[in-house]
Amino acid sequence: MPRILTVDDSAAMRQMVRVTLTSAGYDVEQAKDGREALDIANASTFDLVITDVNMPEMDGLTLVRHLRGMPSYRHTPLLVLTTEGSAERKMQGREAGATGWLVKPFNPDRLLATVAKVLK
């Protein structure tokens, strides 16, 4: 089963994403900020990383930048889950190396559809 790492500082959001993805059979690991995610990503490999942008410690864009620089994540899809859908934000995500983005509000069906698309 594909392994997905999701990163969000909100426990409620983490819980929702985890329940949604695991119910669809994905293997999910979670981190509460970029720094923790980077540690987990370093210790393992994932088929997909979904990260929130605005987080304490290390924000999502910095995380994406770090991951892209790592050989094992050079081509891994990295999705940014964000409430900020502005073009400026998306551009920043792109420049950091994100594959794409998911705009909140969180919708389980949309999340699953996108994940399925990316992991096919």
Q: Could you list the residues that contact other proteins (CB under 8 A)?
A: 3, 9-16, 18-20, 23-24, 29-32, 36, 39-40, 43-45, 47, 54-56, 68, 72, 74-78, 83-88, 90-91, 94, 97-101, 104-109, 112, 117-120
Element (H, E) at 72: none
User: Hey, what are 70's tokens?
Assistant: 């790592």
Q: In this structure, are residues 57 and 35 in contact, taking their beta carbons and an 8 Å threshold?
A: yes
Q: In this structure, are residues 55 and 35 in contact, taking their beta carbons and an 8 Å threshold?
A: no
Closest of 85, 24, 86, 92 to residue 6, by C-alpha: 24
